[in-house]
Structure 1
Amino acid sequence: MASASQADIDWLVREDANLAQAWVSRCVALGEYFVAREAGEIVGFLRFSRFWGRVPYMEMIRIQPAYRRSGVGTALFVAWEEAMRGEGARLLMTSCECDESRPQDWHHRNGFTETGAIELPGLQSVPEVFFIKHLA
């Protein structure tokens, strides 16, 4: 697991398809992507930002279908968590839609607890559930 580099941008633009290339490039430049590789090829990524400019917020974690449920996502998450802990973070945040049971189960397995939800009319048909994880 490592931070993404400029060489990874084309792959990330393809796989993180809801974002414009300029935004992907910005995130890479700021170190806001972690990538997982298998035999030199990217098999997954984790993108994050900072809520209120301070709290690490995992925006997206996506693993190629052939590598799902093999520990790649958890390894990406652990690498990100350790990096954030190393930067002095004491809290992590993430979210998913309220009707997404598998992502919610993943968050719970990885130590997150629900902290609230918001409705985003016009953007999503169901509320977004937020999760936090306290770091020791």
Structure 2
Amino acid sequence: MVEVASAGRADIDWLVREDASSGEAWVSRCVALGEYLVAREAGEIVGFLRFSRFWGRVPYMEMIRVLPEHRRSGVGTALFLAWEEACAATVMTSSECDESRPQDWHRRNGFSETGAIELPGLQSVPEVFFIKQIG
């Protein structure tokens, strides 16, 4: 059974290790602002969802990650649905254009492609954006 909740201070070390590109200062900031959800099975963290607010308003899913041995078991969907329920608005996310599996996951979960942007020097391929209307 997957349990999803906001991350707390006790989860920071795990998040720093598993969301390694973010760094401890950023992870701590996001936890303090309630911008992480964690999924637990049998009391152990098995995944997380990090989000922010695009333009300070639109909930934007920045990263969703499930440990490899727990993928395709509903953990990512549980994280997403908990986030969606908490947002109750339009939500937004993105994927690099060459990431077909994440894009398929977004579409299965009701997102529609809304456009793409190239970020030369930051990414080697364009970023594809998805939105979903909630409610």
Q: Please tell me the TM-score bracket, short chain as reference.
A: over 0.9
What letter is aligned with 2:131?
A: I
Q: Deviation at 1:12?
A: 0.1
**Secondary structure of the residue that 1:14 maps to in structure 2?**
helix
> Among 2, 23, 27, which residue is 2:26 paired with?
23
Trace 1:23-102 onto structure 2 (pairs within 5 A): 23-85=26-88, 90-102=89-101
Structure 2, unmatched stretches of 5+, are: none
Taking structure 1 as the reference length, the TM-score comes to 0.96
Normalised by the length of structure 2, the TM-score is 0.97
Task: Work out the CA distance in 2 between the residues paired with 1:20 and 1:43.
Answer: 19
Mark the runs of 5 or more structure 1 residues left unpaired by the alignment. Answer: none
Q: Percent identity?
A: 82
Q: Count residues with an aligned counterpart.
A: 132
Shift of 1:20: 1.4
The structure 1 segments of at least 4 consecutive aligned residues displaced by more than 6 Å after TM superposition are: none
